[in-house]
């Protein structure tokens, strides 16, 4: 791997393996597995690990999936395993509440991200203000960001920054972007705000690492990645590949690469049945701009008599062909 100089630009790596990865296993990770990965991430000097239900604090429910562990259990387990790495949480107003943020702060959360649909940043104002009162670093992220123009995203990010967000940015929730799309949006956001800019990629079109590099080149300084790409649908930006590519390009991450590979091995062994793949549904959802977390509902629906029907054909059509779900 190419060495970097002291003048190389720093990129902060944010690791949501223990939060976004929960989507892939229906939020059923056990405490010993959380602890093992958190300890490995800490040993690799990963700057921050995010923990929680896949949809964030307070989201465990019959509607979107019951987690095996409570928020309290997850927060306590990971906090105890971290000595140098910071602990982060994620919350979407409506699923989580101010009380959930207060609880996370009491468990030692160092940072909290407030997520909102890409045109609805106004729902983050109260939570961002609360985080500043609690002394917890506050970030704001826009979900399903491909559904808004670069100018709209820049405007929404500027609003979050004005309400106290110490970093703002976008999630490619559906894995829909190509590098040029990311460059255009991150450039618009960096021109509109004076705080660090975030990019979180998904890999539906196989572009997550390339998109993350495009984000860094355009000015983003906080980039997300999950071990082995562990995440919803086709998975997230693969953390160890991302770090290798950034270091190869001359950026500093501060992560011990050898220990990072060990952490990735632990993640593959303990957290996931198999590393994410870009299957047909993931690919089509990326093309269609559908959130990766909807993969299972899109793929199968239970009907009377336990008949299961795939809905893949409803997402994409072929010229001259009638697409009908097949039993």
Residue 53 bears catalytic tag: no
Q: How many angstroms from the chain centroid is the CA of residue 15?
A: 8
Exposed/middle/buried for residue 275 (C-beta within 10 Å: 0-12, 13-18, 19+): middle
Dihedral sign for Cα atoms in the order 164, 135, 43, 55: negative
Report how many helices (DSSP H) and strands (DSSP E) the chain contains, helices first: 13, 10
CA 243 – CA 254 distance, rounded (Å): 10
Q: What is the DSSP string of 203-260?
A: -TTS-HHHHHHHHHHTT--EEE-BGGG-SSTT-B-BHHHHHHHHHHTT-B----HHHH
The DSSP result for 26-69, as a single string, is: TT---HHHHHHHHHHHHHTT-SEEEES-TT-TT--BTTTB--SS
Catalytic residue among 22, 23, 27, 53: 23
Give the span between the Cα atoms of 307 and 249, in whole angstroms.
51
Residues 193, 280: Cα–Cα separation, whole Å: 38
Q: Is 3 exposed, middle or buried (0-12, 13-18, 19+ CB in 10 A)?
A: exposed
Q: Are 156 and 188 in contact (CB under 8 A)?
A: no
Which residues are the active-site residues? 23
């Amino acid at each position: 791997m190419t060495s970097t100089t002291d003048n190389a630009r720093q990129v902060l790596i944010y690791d949501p393996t223990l939060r976004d990865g929960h989507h892939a296993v229906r939020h059923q990770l056990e405490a010993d597995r959380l602890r093992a990965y958190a300890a490995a991430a800490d040993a690799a000097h990963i700057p921050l690990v995010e923990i929680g239900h896949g949809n964030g604090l307070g989201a465990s429910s019959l509607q979107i999936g019951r987690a095996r562990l409570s928020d309290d259990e997850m927060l306590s387990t990971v906090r105890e395993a971290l000595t140098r790495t910071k602990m982060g949480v994620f919350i979407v107003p409506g699923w989580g509440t101010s009380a959930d943020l207060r609880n996370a702060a009491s468990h030692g959360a160092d940072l909290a991200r407030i997520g909102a649909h890409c045109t609805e940043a106004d729902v983050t104002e109260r939570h961002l203000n609360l985080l500043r009162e609690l002394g917890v670093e506050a970030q704001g992220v826009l979900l399903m960001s491909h559904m808004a123009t670069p100018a709209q995203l820049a405007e929404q990010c500027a609003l979050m920054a004005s309400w106290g967000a110490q970093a703002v940015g976008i999630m490619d929730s559906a894995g829909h972007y190509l590098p040029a799309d990311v460059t255009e949006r991150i450039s618009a956001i960096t021109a509109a705000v004076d705080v660090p800019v975030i990019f979180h990629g998904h890999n539906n079109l196989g572009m997550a690492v390339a998109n993350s590099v495009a984000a860094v080149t355009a000015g983003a300084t906080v980039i997300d990645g999950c071990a082995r790409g562990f995440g919803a649908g086709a998975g997230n930006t693969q953390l160890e590949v991302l770090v290798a590519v950034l270091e190869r390009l001359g950026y500093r991450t501060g992560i011990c690469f050898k220990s990072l590979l060990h952490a990735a091995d632990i993640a593959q062994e303990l957290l996931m049945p198999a590393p994410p793949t870009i299957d047909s549904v993931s690919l089509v959802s990326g093309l269609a701009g559908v959130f990766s977390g909807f993969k299972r509902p899109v793929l199968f629906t239970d009907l009377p008599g336990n008949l299961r029907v795939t809905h893949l054909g409803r997402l994409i059509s072929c010229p001259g062909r009638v697409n009908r779900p097949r039993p």
